[in-house]
Structure 1
């Protein structure tokens, strides 16, 4: 029996993974507002479950990339819209901070009167000065790491002529591209994890809801756009 090609295997995994993300989003959205230590523990466990889901994704992606890294960049399992937003075969890590700041601003504006009266909500609109400082510091660090990885990819691309030269070591060149992708994916996962660590369980759940809604929303819109284009 012939083994399943890495591209086909990952496409199946990717679709199944997204279905599970839909299920996790439903669980996140149904989570209660914490009123007891037990509630906080439940929300923490729920956030951990979602992070494990993301960790599984990048673990399987790393395995597939070692077998066919070019498929990860062409990504036939993504929509045209998703592909247009990609940074090194995936979402840009600094996107996380736009989600945090946007969600925090929306919630803060909706409850500004209560907050000014000293009523704490404990949600993303109620980030402490210490939390905001840590998020800002993490953002600066992530931008630096993003730029370093982008430069590595640029160097690989600038040496593209070497790929077709008679003396080219194609295997070594492809291995370098795998390393660049793994660094990008490590940064994506690390950024998600560190933001969740900065937040309280309630805030982490709200952040993960917003993150999943953005990811699934873009995919849904992309699928609709692709269907309309193909039917023309």
Structure 2
């Protein structure tokens, strides 16, 4: 089983000279997906019965996968501070992915649905062993105590998720506040009058537009960072409840779902002629081994 070093290579390749612009993030994202694909191979190897890894070895792989997510959100936060609008409306994601986005990413409560779905599938697949009292050590073998902890965490996460959603709704309403309405009226009148403005007047108006929009963007940045923080805390929280072997199965399912939905969406967009930023293909994921 190969071990991929998480070195920050993607960030260094796409962020030379501190150039955190919207055009460089798709390149970073492509590189990060390629790393996730390689990590998925390691997770799949670790799942195999013939792969006899100790809990310490499994935990090392889990830590590396979690660090890879942390690495993504750390990089994303830097780009967010430079161009929050692009991060909230990512052109490098497919239309399918965009339809399911929650504040620039995956909805935290979805992680629990993923966990429950995988638990059910693995329970059904090994029902006979479980009925006989045999341990399967996967998510079908999750205990009542663990389920109670997951349920408690899910309630907290949903509460936080709703709070952030409400904050976003209130912030979106500010696009129609008095300053925006007044400014849009002034600019419209000038455009309709077709007046030729001096460069100084144009610059003054541009500055006024920027100063009016600035707090709107700052608010969006704060909300997006909170949403990403909740996403990361949710992932780490679920992993902390599971045994090492169970965590491997959960992280495998999370990576599979992320990569496959991305590819399915790309293919749908390609059939419809939609253009998105190029990313790595993963259709041969199970066709070859490292």
How many Å separate the matches in 1 of 2:142 and 2:170? 40
Q: Report the aligned-residue RMSD.
A: 2.0
8 Å contact kept, 1:33–1:202? no
Cα offset for 1:172? 2.1
Residues paired across the two proteins, number:
230
TM-score, normalised with respect to structure 2: 0.75
For structure 1, the 5+ residue unaligned runs are none
1:63-212 to structure 2, matched below 5 A, reads 63-162=78-177, 164=180, 165-166=182-183, 169-212=212-255
Name the structure 2 match of 1:222.
265
How many Å separate the matches in 2 of 1:201 and 1:4? 38
Secondary structure of the corresponding residue to residue 273 of structure 2: helix
How many Å separate the matches in 2 of 1:2 and 1:195? 37
TM-score, normalised with respect to structure 1: 0.93
Cα offset for 1:99? 0.8
8 Å contact kept, 2:45–2:51? no
8 Å contact kept, 1:7–1:71? yes
Structure with a larger share of its residues in helix:
1
Name the structure 2 match of 1:14.
29
In our comparison, the structure showing a higher alpha carbon Rg is 2
1:62 aligns with 2:77: yes
- 1:9-59 deviations in whole A, cap 9, x for unaligned? 2111111100100000001001154997x6111111101100000001100
How many Å separate the matches in 2 of 1:156 and 1:226? 31
Cα offset for 1:173? 2.1
Secondary structure of the corresponding residue to residue 87 of structure 2: helix
How many Å separate the matches in 2 of 1:83 and 1:170? 24
Name the structure 2 match of 1:40.
55
